[in-house]
Amino acid sequence: MRSLSSTSKHISFLLQRTSSLRELTQTHALLTKTGLAYHPPLLAKLLALSALSPWGSLAHARSLFDAVPIKSVLLYNVLIRAYSQSIFPTEAIHLYNHMCRLHLLPDKLTFPFVFKACGRAANVEREVPRVALARKGSEVHCRAFRLGLERDGFIQNSLMSMYSQCGRVRDASKVFDEMVERTTVSYNIMIAAYDRNGEQELADRLFYQMEEKSVVSWNSMITRHVRLGDVNAARKIFDEMSQRDAISWNTLMAGYIQVKNYKHALELFKRMQANDVEPTELTIVSVLGACAETGALEMGKKVHKYLRDKEFKIEGYVGNALLDMYAKCGNLKLAWQVFDAMGMKHVTCWNTMIVALAVHGHCKDALELFASMEREASLGVKPNRVTFLGVLLACSHKGLLKEGQDFFQRMVKEYNIEPDIKHYGCMVDMLSRCGLVDEAFQMIKEMPMKENSVLWKTVLGACRVHGDVELAEEAFKELAELAPLSDADYVLMSNIYAEAERWEDVERLRTGMIGDSISKQQGCTQIELD
C-alpha cells in the first residue's frame, strides 16, 4: 500500500500532465478517494489548473473553491487572479472583501490582481460607477501601504494602471513619481495613462526620458500617433528605432492606409521584405487592401504567390482580402479561383464575390451565386444587408426591375433586414434606368431616412437620359439644398438645358459657376508601371 507521501507525489505528477477538464475531474476524484481532497498544495494546483488553464472552467473552479471548508490566502489569490482577467472582474473584488472579513491577511500576490480587477471593471462593467471602483482601489492601496508593500514594483505598476483606467491620472502620476526603480513597464503604463487622458505632450516627454526603450515602448508611440491620424509623426518615430518587429511595420502600414496613402504603404511593405521581416496575417491583409484601393494588381499577385510558396492557408481575413483585391482590380477570373479554392466560406466572402460580379456587369452570375448562397443556409451562411446590396446592384445594372423589387421585399419580409440608404439608392437607380423617373423621385421623398446628394444626382442623370427638364430642375434644387453644388452638377444640368435648347438657362448656369468660382475639373486616371 502506498504511503501518503508517495500518493501525494503521484497525484502532483498527474496534475502536471493534465491537459483537459475531463482529466482534471478524474484527478480530483482520485484526490477525494485517497483522502487528499483538502491537501493544501494539491488543492491549490487543482484550483489553479481549473481557473487559469486555457481549457479550464471558472465555474468549475468556483465550485471547488466553495466546497473547501477552511480556505487559505493562496486559494483566494488563485481565484482573485482568475476573476480579475475574466469578464466578471468585480467578482475578484467581492472575493477580496470576503477574504478580509475572514481576517485573512492579503499578501503581495493579492494586491496586483485586485487592482487589475478594479481597472478592468472600470472598462467592462456598466453597473458599477468608475468613481466607486476608484474609491475601492484607493482603499486597497491604503491596506497595501499599512502592510508595507507599497514599494513593490509589481504592485505599483498594477496600481498605476488601475488609477489610469479609473480616470485618476494625477493619482497614477503620484505613484509613478514615488517609484524608486522605474522599469520599462512602468513608463509604458504612465505614457498610456497620459495618452488616454489626452495629454500628448506629457506622454512624449516621458517617452524620451526613458533610458532604455523596448520595442513595445516604440510601438505604443507609433500606435498613438497613428490613432491620432498623425502618420508623419509615427514615421519619424519608426525611423528612429534601432530595432523593429512585425508590429512596428504593421502599425505604420495601417497608418498610411488609414489616411489613404496607399503608395507609401506598399513601399513600406517592399522595404519590410528587403529587411527579411516575416509578414504576419495583419501585414498581408493590409497590403492586399492597399493593392485593392490602388489597382496594384501585379503587387497583389506577388503577395498571392508569396502565400502559395509559404503554404499559407488562404481563408478567413486573408482569403477575403485576396478575393477583394482581385475583384477591385477587375480580375474576376482569379477572384473566382480564390473563391472556389476556399473551404468554409464566411458570409463576407460570398458578399465580396456577389458585389464584384454585379459591379463588373456579370449580373446573371451574381444572382446565381446568391441562389447558391441561399442553398448553403444549412451550413450557417445567411445573407445580410451587404448581400442584398450586391443583388440589387446586379438587378439595377441589368435593368431587372421586377426581380429587384421582389428581392427588396424579400429582404424586408423574409430576412427581417431594414433597408438603409444604399438599398434605396439601388432601387432609385433601378427605377431611373427603366425610365420611371417620377417613381424614383417619389421613392426618395417617401424614404424613412433623410436623402443624400447621391440619390438626387442619380435622378438628375436619369432626367438627362429621358429628357425630363421639369423634374431635373426639382432634383437640382433638392441637390443644392443638401450640399454645395459641384462642377459635375452644374455641367449635368447645363447639358440638360442645352439638349432642350434652353440657351438662356445654360448661360445662367455658367454665369453662376463663375460667380461661385467653380471650374470644371479635368479627369484623371492611374496606371501601374513596373
C-alpha cell at 173: 502620476
CA nearest neighbour of 401 among 368, 438, 429: 429
Name the percent of the chain in helix, strand, coil, to the closest 5: 75, 0, 25
Give the C-alpha separation, 437 to 498, whole Å.
20
Residues 426 and 415 in one domain: no
Residue 470 domain flag: yes
Residue 55 domain flag: no
What CATH number is attached to the domain comprising 462? 1.25.40
In total, how many domains does the chain have? Answer: 2
pLDDT over 70 for what percent of the chain?
Answer: 93
Residue 167 domain flag: no
> Which helix H or strand E contains 396, and what residues bound it?
helix 385-398
Examine the fold and report which residue of 352, 387, 419 is the final residue of a domain before the chain moves on: 419
pLDDT digits (tens, 9 = 90+) for 474-518: 878 887 777 777 777 778 788 888 887 888 877 887 877 766 666
- The residue length of the chain stands at 530
Residues 404 and 444 in one domain: no
Examine the fold and report which residue of 419, 437, 455 is the final residue of a domain before the chain moves on: 419
pLDDT of amino acid 1: 39
Is 379 a residue whose pLDDT tops 60?
yes
Residue 504 domain flag: yes
Give the C-alpha separation, 520 to 488, whole Å.
7
* Domain span including residue 482: 421-519
Residues 412 and 426 in one domain: no
Give the C-alpha separation, 314 to 321, whole Å.
10
CA nearest neighbour of 388 among 402, 398, 399, 405: 405
pLDDT of amino acid 126: 67
Residues 409 and 449 in one domain: no
Give the C-alpha separation, 310 to 318, whole Å.
14
pLDDT digits (tens, 9 = 90+) for 57-87: 889 889 889 988 889 999 999 999 999 999 8
- DSSP secondary structure letter of residue 376: G
Give the C-alpha separation, 112 to 117, whole Å.
9
Residues 390 and 458 in one domain: no
b/e sequence 76-92, b meaning 16+ C-beta within 10 Å = bbbbbbbbbeeebbbbb
The crossing angle, in degrees rounded to 10, of helices 453-466 and 437-446 is 170
User: Do the Cβ atoms of 130 and 167 come closer than 8 Å?
Assistant: yes
Residues 454 and 397 in one domain: no
pLDDT digits (tens, 9 = 90+) for 79-119: 999 999 998 999 999 999 999 999 999 999 999 999 999 99
Average pLDDT (440-453) is 83
Confidence of residue 393 (pLDDT cuts 50, 70, 90): very high
Examine the fold and report which residue of 419, 447, 481 is the final residue of a domain before the chain moves on: 419
Secondary structure (DSSP) of 311-356: T----HHHHHHHHHHHHHTT-HHHHHHHHHH-SSPPHHHHHHHHHH
Residue 58 domain flag: no
Reported pTM: 0.65
Give the C-alpha separation, 132 to 359, whole Å.
54
Alpha-helical regions (H) of 109-245:
110-124, 130-146, 153-165, 169-178, 184-196, 200-209, 215-227, 231-240
Residue 136 domain flag: no
Residues 371 and 392 in one domain: yes
Give the C-alpha separation, 307 to 523, whole Å.
37
Q: What is the CA radius of gyration of the chain?
A: 32
Give the C-alpha separation, 207 to 220, whole Å.
10
Residues 427 and 415 in one domain: no
Specify the 3-state DSSP secondary structure of 106: coil
User: Do the Cβ atoms of 45 and 15 come closer than 8 Å?
Assistant: yes
Is 457 a residue whose pLDDT tops 60?
yes
Residues 473 and 445 in one domain: yes
pLDDT digits (tens, 9 = 90+) for 317-373: 888 999 999 999 889 999 999 998 887 788 899 999 999 999 998 999 999 999 999
Is 146 a residue whose pLDDT tops 50?
yes
Residues 425 and 396 in one domain: no
Residue 426 domain flag: yes
Average pLDDT (164-182) is 90
The crossing angle, in degrees rounded to 10, of helices 153-165 and 169-178 is 160
User: Do the Cβ atoms of 424 and 442 come closer than 8 Å?
Assistant: no
- Which residues, in sequence order, are CB contacts of 519 under 8 Å at separation 6+? 487, 513
Residues 385 and 444 in one domain: no
Average pLDDT taken over every residue of the chain: 86
Residue 436 domain flag: yes
Residues 404 and 462 in one domain: no
User: Do the Cβ atoms of 404 and 396 come closer than 8 Å?
Assistant: yes
